């Protein structure tokens, strides 16, 4: 079965007993790893690192032992109880071995967790998990603004902390590309604060690494300013620093969506910008309002359409994702010029 995005976090915290195997896939490797670990904790909460309780299988392990997954799913421990079989970095090539293992009648209640990268909708591995009610397919994409805000608030609340408006805006601007990075930065912030209370933008500035987000903001605002040279240079620097084209496109799509919210829903741009949720980060607020006042709605709508097409191409096109995003950058920079 396919798990809807809004239900994923709750599903991972308490998976139904009827689910015997999970497929975690998508471009956010940190989220894949985090969800896989949470699911494993539900099966073997007290002794995950015991090699008898949790086994990791990599693609290379199947070269000389194609039945490895089936064998591990069938095995029992001396003391009884369930085991977790984690398949790491799997692709479409490993699907036959996974399918054979799932078809085997083992009589054992061990759970299988398959971790993969980004899979196309036509992927046979995805369809295997999506079409069976006893299997679960969980897509892991970069957190969008609303989801990211919920992650930030719930993580801080678990430590008795709350971010004020400016701190929340700073965190939303800084985090979101990779769930594991998001959690690591929030943990650093919690340790720095030390005790329950209110977190300010000053706390965020001291602790959370913001070099990449500032570079991303430079890229985004160069596009909506129509400055092709600056946008292209910023994109190349971000890609050289290891930023994912998918993450950069997600950031760009959210950037355009915020302009749409301001221009479409209100005639008072200043008021609408101040009402945005999550709020604008103070470092870019004036620039955002200035660009919004000069922006033509018809150009913005055209830009959103181009961005949506790019999102499809990033998943389905045989072209390198860097080239796909570079073409969009050129298109939109010329559009906003």
Note the pLDDT tens digit of each residue in 78-91: 666 788 999 999 99
Closest C-alpha among 201, 180, 169 to residue 31: 180
pLDDT at 147 over 80: no
Domain shared by 166 and 93, yes or no:
no
Q: Are 132 and 22 in contact (CB under 8 A)?
A: no
Classified as helix, coil or strand, 204 is: helix
What residues have CB less than 8 Å from 136, skipping those under 6 apart? 1, 3, 11, 15, 19, 21, 22, 23, 129
Q: Are 334 and 228 in contact (CB under 8 A)?
A: yes
User: Based on the domain organization, do 78 and 161 belong to the same domain?
Assistant: no
Number of residues that this document lists for the chain:
337
Instruction: Encode pLDDT of 105-143 as tens digits.
Output: 766 678 999 999 888 888 999 999 999 999 999 998 866
Does the bond joining 278 to the residue before it have cis omega, within 30 degrees of 0? yes
The single-letter DSSP state of residue 22 is E
Phi-psi region of 194 (alpha: psi -120 to 50; beta: other; left: phi over 0): left
Same-domain pairing of 72 and 27: yes
What mean pLDDT comes out for the span 194-204?
87
Provide the pLDDT for residue 30. 79
State both tokens at 320: 């390198």
Number of structural domains the chain divides into: 3
For position 211, what pLDDT does the model report? Answer: 43
CB contact set of 74 (below 8 Å; sequence gap of 6+): 104, 106, 108, 110
Looking at 92, 123, 139, which one is the last position of a domain? 139
Domain that holds residue 265: 211-335
Q: Tell me, yes or no, whether 249 and 308 share the same domain.
A: yes
């Amino acid at each position: 079965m396919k798990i809807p995005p809004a239900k994923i976090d709750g599903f991972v915290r308490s998976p139904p007993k009827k689910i015997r195997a999970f497929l975690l896939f998508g471009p956010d490797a940190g989220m894949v790893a985090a969800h896989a670990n949470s699911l494993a904790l539900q099966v073997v909460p007290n002794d995950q690192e015991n090699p008898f309780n949790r086994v990791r299988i990599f693609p290379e392990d199947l070269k000389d032992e194609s039945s490895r997954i089936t064998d591990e799913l069938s095995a029992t421990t001396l003391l009884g109880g369930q085991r977790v079989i984690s398949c790491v970095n799997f692709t479409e090539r490993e699907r036959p071995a996974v399918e054979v293992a799932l078809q085997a009648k083992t009589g054992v209640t061990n759970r299988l967790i398959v971790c993969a990268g980004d899979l196309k909708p036509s992927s046979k591995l995805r369809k295997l998990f999506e079409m069976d009610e006893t299997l679960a397919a969980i897509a892991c994409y970069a957190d969008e603004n609303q989801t990211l805000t919920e992650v930030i608030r719930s993580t801080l609340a678990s430590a008795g902390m709350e971010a004020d408006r400016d701190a929340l805006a700073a965190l939303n601007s800084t985090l979101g590309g990779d769930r594991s990075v998001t959690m690591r930065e929030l943990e650093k912030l919690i340790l720095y604060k030390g005790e329950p209370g209110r977190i300010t933008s000053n706390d965020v500035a001291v602790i959370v690494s913001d070099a990449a987000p500032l570079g991303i903001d430079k890229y985004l605002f160069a596009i909506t300013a129509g400055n092709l040279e600056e946008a292209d240079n910023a994109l190349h620097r971000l890609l050289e620093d290891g930023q994912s084209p998918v993450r950069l496109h997600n950031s760009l799509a959210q950037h355009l969506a915020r302009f749409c919210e301001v221009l479409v829903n209100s005639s008072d741009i200043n008021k609408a910008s101040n009402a945005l949720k999550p709020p604008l980060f103070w470092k870019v607020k004036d620039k955002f309002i200035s660009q919004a006042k000069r922006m033509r709605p018809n150009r913005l709508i055209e830009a959103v359409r181009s961005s949506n097409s790019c999102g499809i191409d990033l998943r389905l096109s045989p072209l390198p994702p860097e080239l796909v995003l570079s073409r969009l950058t050129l298109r939109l920079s010329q559009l906003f010029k």
